[in-house]
């Protein structure tokens, strides 16, 4: 595999007490993401964010953490159709994979917020997720002997809400996945993909299937919202829930296909269990809906082509990412 271009985001690292550079490995064919000027990456912030990500004390009944619904072995998604939160309550959407989440320009299925920092509060404060309140959260962290010093190391300050938000966002920015067989093949290892996977890649890129139109390489996202005709009548509005515009009803953010093999079930509501069923849905072109994307149309796909395409999707699995101890709970 060709050497990765080491992206050291020096432009975003100023001289600041307790702020050490944090290096990110990003392939040459991927444009690096921007880091907010007021939340420069440091090892101390990332370490703190990792602890907070797995901290069940951030939920009111101390039963769930961010990592309960975003599980590393499943590409920081959840195999439940809808995850359980506070006191076993459930929401109404499937947990999104956090694979390469830093490259997104909008967050949540409906693109309701535009930064990782702003994406922290909704699940922590949401009544069906962690149902926490800010004052109790600060009290709990202050009562834990490890957190006051961790915040001192990361921010040279006492525990506060801003630090919690910035640390969690910082950790999530490190969740980079670029070591799949596909990545090795693209970097020059011609043997990294098998015959079926190579045929699947050709199908994926073909004008006939048009998969790459929305799942654009190399991130396999387009940072846009689409209605794919999953339903003729949607139970919830998707992007329309944010904008209140009728033309946005049923539109959801394009999910990444990286690690898609392990981030089942699929669709915004987890209504499709397997990749085979996903392809069967796309073969139909989706149900009629006034907002359905013009890119959605019925396609012909033989059983052999279907197998090849699924084999390629499996080649987007990065096993090193799924087991990397830097991303696992520090208590394990």
The tens-digit pLDDT sequence of the chain (332 residues) is 433 333 333 333 333 334 467 889 999 889 999 999 999 999 999 999 999 999 999 999 999 999 999 999 999 999 999 988 888 778 889 999 999 999 999 999 999 999 999 999 999 998 889 999 999 999 999 999 999 999 999 999 999 999 999 999 999 999 999 999 999 999 999 999 999 999 999 999 999 999 999 999 999 999 999 999 999 999 999 999 999 999 999 999 999 999 999 999 999 999 999 999 999 999 999 999 999 999 999 999 999 999 999 999 999 999 999 999 999 999 86
Residue 326 lies in a domain: no
* The two structure tokens encoding residue 143: 């009562």
Domain identity same for 20 and 156:
yes
Domain identity same for 226 and 86:
no
Indicate the burial class of 203 (C-beta count within 10 angstroms; 0-12, 13-18, 19 or more): middle
Domain identity same for 202 and 149:
no
Residue 331 lies in a domain: no
Domain identity same for 221 and 122:
no
Confidence (pLDDT) at 26? 93
Confidence (pLDDT) at 213? 95
Residue 17 lies in a domain: yes
Residue 332 lies in a domain: no
Residue 244 lies in a domain: yes
Given 177, 207, 235, the domain boundary residue is 177
Q: How far apart are CA 142 and CA 160, in angstroms?
A: 10
Domain identity same for 117 and 169:
yes
Residue 329 lies in a domain: no
Domain identity same for 73 and 163:
yes
State the CB neighbour count (10 A cutoff) for residue 266.
20
Confidence (pLDDT) at 140? 96
Residue 16, helix vs strand vs coil: coil
Cα 59 versus chain centre, distance: 21
Domain that holds residue 56: 6-177
**Helix intervals (H) in the chain:** 43-53, 66-69, 121-125, 134-143, 147-155, 161-173, 181-186, 195-205, 240-243, 275-284, 303-314, 319-323
Percent of residues in the chain assigned helix, strand, coil, to nearest 5: 35, 5, 55
In sign, the C-alpha dihedral spanning 242, 247, 250, 253 is negative
Domain identity same for 246 and 151:
no
Residue 48 lies in a domain: yes
Residue 327 lies in a domain: no
Q: Which residues contact 303 (CB under 8 A, 6 or more apart)?
A: none
Domain identity same for 62 and 96:
yes
pTM of the model: 0.92
Given 115, 148, 177, the domain boundary residue is 177
Closest CA to 112 of 12, 243, 306, 286: 243
State the CB neighbour count (10 A cutoff) for residue 332.
7
Closest CA to 40 of 22, 60, 54: 22
Confidence (pLDDT) at 17? 35
Q: Are the CB atoms for 195 and 124 separated by under 8 Å?
A: no
Number of independent structural domains in the chain: 2
Confidence (pLDDT) at 20? 62
Domain identity same for 140 and 230:
no
Domain identity same for 155 and 215:
no
Cα 29 versus chain centre, distance: 20
Output the domain CATH number for residue 262.
1.10.760.10
Q: Before 3, cis peptide (omega within 30)?
A: no
Domain identity same for 137 and 224:
no
Domain identity same for 119 and 225:
no
Closest CA to 312 of 192, 155, 152: 192
Confidence (pLDDT) at 10? 30
Output the CA–CA distances (angstroms, integers) from residue 297 to 208, 214, 225, 244, in the order listed: 10, 14, 17, 27
Q: Which residues contact 145 (CB under 8 A, 6 or more apart)?
A: none
Given 177, 207, 238, the domain boundary residue is 177
Q: How far apart are CA 7 and CA 197, in angstroms?
A: 29
The bridge status of strand 6-7 relative to strand 225-226 is: unpaired
């Amino acid at each position: 595999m060709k050497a990765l271009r080491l992206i050291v985001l020096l432009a975003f690292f100023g001289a600041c007490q307790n702020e050490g550079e944090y290096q990110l490995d990003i392939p040459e064919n991927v444009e690096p993401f921007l880091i907010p000027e007021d939340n420069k990456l440091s090892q101390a912030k990332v370490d703190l964010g990792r602890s907070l990500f797995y901290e069940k004390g951030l939920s009111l009944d101390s039963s769930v953490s961010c990592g309960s619904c975003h599980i590393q072995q499943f590409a920081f998604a959840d195999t439940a159709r809808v995850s359980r939160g506070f006191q076993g309550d459930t929401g109404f959407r499937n947990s999104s994979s956090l694979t390469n989440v830093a490259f997104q320009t909008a967050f949540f299925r409906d693109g309701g917020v535009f930064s990782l920092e702003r994406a922290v509060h909704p699940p922590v404060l949401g009544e069906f997720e962690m149902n926490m309140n800010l004052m109790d959260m600060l009290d709990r962290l202050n009562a834990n002997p490890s957190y006051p010093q961790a915040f001192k190391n990361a921010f040279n300050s006492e525990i506060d809400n801003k630090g919690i938000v910035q640390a969690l966002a910082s950790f999530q920015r490190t969740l980079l996945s670029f070591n799949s067989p596909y990545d090795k093949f693209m970097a020059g290892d011609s043997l990294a993909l098998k015959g079926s996977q190579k045929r699947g890649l050709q199908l994926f890129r073909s004008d006939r299937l048009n998969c790459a139109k929305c799942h654009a390489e190399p991130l396999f996202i387009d940072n846009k919202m689409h209605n794919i005709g999953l339903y003729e009548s949607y139970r919830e509005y998707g992007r329309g829930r944010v904008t209140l515009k009728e033309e946005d009803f049923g539109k959801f953010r394009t999910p990444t296909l990286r690690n898609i093999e392990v981030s089942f079930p699929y669709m915004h509501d987890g209504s499709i269990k397997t990749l085979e069923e996903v392809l069967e849905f796309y073969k139909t072109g989706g149900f009629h809906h006034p907002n359905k994307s013009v890119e959605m149309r019925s396609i012909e796909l033989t059983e052999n082509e279907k197998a090849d395409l699924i084999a390629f999707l499996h080649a987007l699995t990065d096993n090193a990412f799924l087991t990397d101890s830097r991303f696992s709970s520090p208590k394990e």
